[in-house]
Amino acid sequence: MVEDLIAVFTYNGIPVRITEKEKCCGMPKMELGDLEAVEQAMQFNIPVLAELVDAGWDLIAPVPSCVLMFKQELPLLFPDDPMVEKVRQAFFDPFEYLMLRHREGKLNTSFKKSLGRIAYHVPCHQRVQKIGLKTRDILQLVPDTQVDVIERCSGHDGTYAVKSEFHAISMKICRPVVDRVRRGNVNHYISDCPMAGHQIENGLQNGSKPESAFTLLRTAYGI
């Protein structure tokens, strides 16, 4: 997914670099109530990211939970930290960033391949950011492409679905999403959240695999 993200951004003339060092954003630890570990991750990550902002870089992350952590959760936990605020202001969802480029007429819309029908699961951690359905909006710029939006929880909920005592319940929560994908007669199914995508895959049990929206966009560009 990251390779495809970089390819799409580069194709659109957006310089990309990866942080030289990083730790987990801290979202899994926060969901477990381990605020000490969250603070330790913040103290490691924020100075690195703030230095990049000072050097003129905008910031993105390929997973909605990570974007949410830097845009909303850490600023709530550390409201008086100026570096946390600096990072918050520079952080974007990747498709939010591409849509901003499109509004300025800077997005390459010379697509070479259609994508057909796509089932698009919108992750909870993206919806709470209130940025709109930017992934859908970008993909629908591709000719002869239809995006069916599914706005329901996949049941993964961070570490919840991988715990043996909760996995069966998580799959029941995911069943309406799986049913929508199964009935949709789609060419592709995607979620911005890789964990949600694999949760849907587990529910389908038909050998199909979730794809990344960036993989599909790269296919549409023919790069």
For residue 103, being part of any structural domain is answered with no
Could you tell me the two tokens for 20? 């030289």
So what's the pLDDT on residue 161?
A: 66
By CB neighbour count within 10 A (0-12 exposed, 13-18 middle, 19+ buried), where does 73 fall?
buried
Compute the Cα dihedral for 34, 61, 74, 153 and give only its sign: negative
CA-CA distance, 200 to 139, in Å (whole number)?
20
Q: Which domain holds residue 7?
A: 2-97
Domain count, the chain: 2
CA-CA distance, 147 to 221, in Å (whole number)?
17
55-99 pLDDT tens trace: 999 999 999 999 999 999 999 999 999 999 999 999 999 999 999
Same domain, 174 and 128: yes
Same domain, 151 and 210: yes
184-196 pLDDT tens trace: 889 999 999 998 9
For residue 104, being part of any structural domain is answered with no
CA-CA distance, 186 to 202, in Å (whole number)?
17
Same domain, 15 and 90: yes
Same domain, 86 and 136: no
pTM (predicted TM-score): 0.90
Per DSSP, which regions of 21-107 are E strands? Answer: 59-60, 91-92
So what's the pLDDT on residue 163?
A: 80
